Amino acid sequence: GAVVSQHPSRVICKSGTSVKIECRSLDFQATTMFWYRQFPKQSLMLMATSNEGSKATYEQGVEKDKFLINHASLTLSTLTVTSAHPEDSSFYICSASGERGGSNEQYFGPGTRLTVT
Amino acid sequence: RKEVEQDPGPFNVPEGATVAFNCTYSNSASQSFFWYRQDCRKEPKLLMSVYSSGNEDGRFTAQLNRASQYISLLIRDSKLSDSATYLCVVSLNAGKSTFGDGTTLTVKP
C-alpha cells in the first residue's frame, strides 16, 4: 500500500493565489523529504530538500520565497506555492526518506497536478 | 553536460522482444543507482536498485559499470504492460537523487 500520501491530488487555482500541498509519510518517520517538479515530457527536477525541524535547502534557480517549505514533523512536509502564475502549472511530487522495515529508501508520493489559470 | 543522460528513445518494440536501455552519469562520487518506472501522469515507482555485481528480477536485469559510469536495464520477453517511461536515477548521498530525462517504451501486440 501507499507509504507516502499527497494532498490534494489535483488543484486548479487563479493566478495570484497561493496553494498548499501536503506530503505525509504514513507508516514511517521521514527524516528527509524532497520536493520535485515535473513539466510535461520532462524529467523530475529536484526543487528542495527538507529535514525535520530545519530550513529547507533549495536547488539553484528555485525561489525560496515563492516555494515555501515547512517540515514541521517527521511525517508531514508542506509546499506552498505563493502568488501562483500559469508558468507554475506542473506536476509536483514529494518523496520521503527514512528508515522503514530496516532499510533506508526513498518513497514517492502520488503527485499533485497544479493548474494555474 | 547533464548529470544523468539516457537514450532519447522512444523505443517501439513488439511483444516478446528484448530491449535494453542505457544511462551514463557524470559524477564519479555517485553512490546509489536505480531504475524507476513512470506511467503517464503518475508518480515514479522503483523498479529496481542497481548493484555493481549486476542484479536480476524476473525479466529485468540491471547492470552498473562504475569505471565507465554506465548503467543499463535489460527487459526480456516484453509485455504490453511494460509500456512506460523508464527513469535512470543516480544518488550522490542519502536520498538526494538526480533523474535522467527518461526513455519511453511502447510494447505493441
Pairing label, strands B19-25, B4-6:
antiparallel
The pLDDT of residue A42: 83
Q: Which of A43, A97, A106 sits opposite B100 (nearest CB)?
A: A43
A37-58 confidence digits (pLDDT tens) = 998 878 889 999 998 878 899 9
B97-109 confidence digits (pLDDT tens) = 889 999 999 999 9
B29: burial class by Cβ within 10 Å (0-12, 13-18, 19+)? exposed
> Do B21 and B36 form a contact (C-beta atoms < 8 A)?
no
Answer yes or no: do B95 and A111 touch at CB < 8 A. Answer: no
Report the gap between the CA of B45 and the closest CA in chain A (Å).
7
A59 to chain B: closest CA residue: B96
Q: From CA B71, how far away is CA A34, in angstroms rounded?
A: 24
* C-alpha cell, B82: 511494460
A56-87 confidence digits (pLDDT tens) = 999 999 999 999 999 888 899 999 999 999 99
Instruction: Enumerate the residues of chain B whose CB falls inside 8 A of the CB of residue A110.
Output: 42-43
> Do B83 and B107 form a contact (C-beta atoms < 8 A)?
yes
Q: Which residue of B4, B25, B35, B43 is the best one to mutate when testing the A interface, meaning the one whose CB has the most A CBs within 10 A?
A: B43
Mean pLDDT of chain B: 91
pLDDT < 50: residue spans in chain B: none
